[in-house]
Amino acid sequence: MADDGVFASAWSRCIRRPRPPERRVERYVILATKDGRTLADIRWSGTARCSVLLPRAETIWGSSWLSEVGVWLRRLNRLGCPPGPTGP
């Protein structure tokens, strides 16, 4: 799988997951820079009508990390999420 990086920081990177043809929206995953483990998913929420963070249960999030991910979420939402061939 090619690394389709969207955003990166010193502690993590956000990459786009491959989207099967039947799925309407893109999904993203946040990976730890240090060891590559999955920290969280970013998905479109129809209820919230925006992209949301779904952290993994075993992760711990500090305020600076949450602030950084908040910036990423705002950028994705400004790009017109849900990203995909048919749009919102």
pLDDT digits (tens, 9 = 90+) for 41-58: 998 888 888 888 999 998
CB 31 within 8 A of CB 42: no
Question: Is residue 69 classed exposed, middle or buried when 0-12, 13-18 and 19+ CB atoms within 10 A define those classes?
Answer: buried
Residue 80: pLDDT band with limits 50, 70, 90:
low
- In the chain, the amino acid numbered 20 is P
Q: Domain-by-domain residue ranges, the chain?
A: 5-78
Judged against a pLDDT cut of 60, whether residue 81 lies above it is answered with no
Q: How far apart are CA 35 and CA 71, in angstroms?
A: 23
Q: Where are the beta strands (DSSP E) in 5-81?
A: 5-8, 12-16, 28-32, 38-45, 50-55
Judged against a pLDDT cut of 50, whether residue 65 lies above it is answered with yes
pTM of the predicted protein model: 0.74
